[in-house]
A and B are shown apart, each in its own frame.
Chain A
Amino acid sequence: MNKVLYKTFSVVIWSLFTIITLFPIYWMILVSTRTPVQLYGKPNLYPTFLEKIHWKNYTRPFVDGVFGDYLMNSIIIATSNALLVTVLAIMATYALSRYKIAAAETIFFWTMTNRMAPPAAFMLPLFLLFTLVFKYGDSNLFDTKIGLILLYCVFNLPFAIWLLKGIFDGIPKDLDEAMIVDGANLFTIISKLIVPLAAPGIAVTALLSFLFAWNEYLLAATLTSVYARTIPTGLSEFVTTTGTEWGTMAAVAVVSMLPALIFLALVQKYIVSGLTFGAVKG
């Protein structure tokens, strides 16, 4: 009896939390599929998108407007960053895992502090460096995709190394040595031995890096102006405009949320260890 009561209680509480989690998202999707007239007046919770979707909310920003470019920028930046981080992290982690380096602990700790620092403290120096210091002739890093791709490494590399370190340490060193005896060079060892054995961990690393770069807002907003703007920075443009078009804003928010949903489906198991730097196995 007691147990049944407890189970019912759990289900009730969790149903409540599920509604609290989903309701705001559901409302956003509703808004994104409605005309301004439909949004006027009393809030209507009926799923009108089952009957008719106001596609203009989506086509206006992404086809007619600049958000198509923003979307492309986001895709390029997040993908390149994920690839770069993964390759560099594989190399660095292999070094930290296989060789005795005197400063290994220090390097490790230093990369961690980079990740923990508040981005708001770095936006001014980065803005000044990107506009005034890192330049060659007339071109500088400000408002370039390269700038953001490199920048996100500061946040992604530390945790990528952290995540891979545990996996690489688990691969026996005897295997490396056997390959060296067979005359394999470093590149062959990493590409033929380490990468295949650590494939799932590497995939998770790449996906988490992608997600971070995709979601980042503050630094993208301060370090771009026209050509390298990403979806999140575009989303914030709706804040200042007078008479916000709620439907369009919701549509942009829905699109920028999509990769997160796909990602969630793929690596839900690893999210906890990803977010806690592997300090807690999830």
Chain B
Amino acid sequence: MNSSKTAWLLLSPTIVILIIVGLLPFLYVLYVGFFNWMPLGKNKEMEFINFGYNYRELVFDKFFIDSVWRSIRFAIVTLALELTLGFLLALSLLSSFPLKAFFRSVHTLPLVIAPIVVGAIFKLFLVQGLGPIPFLAKELFGFKLNYMSSEAQAFWTIVVMDVWHWTPFVTLTLLAGLSALPQDPYESAKIDGANNFQIFIYITIPMLVPVLIVVIFIRMMDSLKIVDEVWMLTAGGPGYSTRFTGIHIWKEVFEKRTYGYGSAMSVLYLYITIVICWILYSVMVSRGKANEDE
């Protein structure tokens, strides 16, 4: 048998499955996005409307645009917190101290817990009348903690939950990157009399750029697609305070059954995440290159 034929034969089941459940949904959502289709409303059947009408509506849809900004704000806030915290923890793990292996194992734990379970854990932990945290906040500080009644508290509760869940990812990835750095530059820097702070800024950070890109890229993508935990904890409320884009699409599509418009939303959502990550990626890669050139 021809060898390239064998190769394609081996690849074919993978490609077929990815086309059926990966590519086809994508093409289908592009297609439906050009129609007016509300099975429960006045457009029971698909009806073609003015080319791109749904998208024109979408750009001026305040609720959708707000949800996108909310997601971006959330992604940036959590990224900043997780990166700072994770970096410090990763640096501390470079030197040895008692019980280090135990601490690291426990730190890995949140990573394998399902997002929906994390939502449940935090609900049990923070809900009024059951969780210990609202009780302690009231007893110790006289602070009224109820994430279901305050918009700001709801948003920051989700942020805290995300930090709890994903900081370990940043820590462990950066630790892996830090441990793999070559030692020579550090030695020559020390001989030249650089202090620890200078070494960190001028040697560690630039050398770590490729790993930082990976971390920021993955965390950004994940934050932009957050749904499960939020759905479990606040279901997008109170008001619109935690209605991130994924949740917004879910509510719009499955409560109002606006298939055509919902498809347009899905496409734009996909497009926005791709563009953000592409911008981020090219900025960081060019920054990394500039650093190398110096």
Contacts and interface: CB of A to CB of B under 8 A. Distances in A.
Contacts of B11: 91-92, 95-96, 101, 107
Nearest to A265: B105
B209 interface: no
B10 A94 contact: yes
A50 interface: no
Contacts of B269: 118, 120-121
A236 B231 contact: yes
Contacts of B120: 28, 235, 238, 249-250, 252-253
A22 B131 CA distance: 15
B63 interface: no
A236 to B, nearest CB: 6
B290 interface: no
A62 interface: no
B13 interface: yes
A186 interface: yes
Contacts of A253: 117, 120-121, 124
B83 interface: no
Contact of A101 (B7, B122, B180): B7
Given A120-B225, A129-B24, A264 B112 contact: yes
19 contacts: A10-B95, A17-B107, A43-B136, A88-B13, A91-B10, A92-B14, A96-B7, A118-B273, A120-B246, A122-B25, A122-B29, A126-B21, A129-B25, A157-B18, A216-B114, A217-B114, A232-B114, A271-B112, A282-B176
Interface of B: 3-4, 6-8, 10-11, 13-15, 17-18, 20-22, 24-26, 28-29, 32, 89, 92, 95, 97-100, 102-103, 105-117, 120-125, 127, 130-132, 135-136, 164, 169, 172-173, 176-177, 180, 211, 214-215, 218, 221, 224-225, 227-228, 231-232, 235, 245-247, 249-250, 253-254, 259, 262-263, 266-267, 269-270, 273, 277
Given A122-B266, A268-B105, 14 more contacts: A7-B98, A18-B106, A31-B130, A92-B14, A94-B10, A95-B8, A114-B22, A118-B246, A125-B25, A186-B10, A215-B117, A218-B231, A257-B114, A280-B173
Interface of A: 6-7, 10-11, 13-15, 17-18, 20-25, 27-28, 31, 39, 42-43, 45, 88-89, 91-92, 94-96, 98-101, 107, 110-111, 114, 116-126, 128-129, 133-134, 150-151, 153-154, 157, 161, 186, 211, 214-218, 222, 232, 235-236, 238-239, 246, 249-250, 252-253, 256-257, 260-261, 263-264, 268, 271-273, 275-276, 279-282
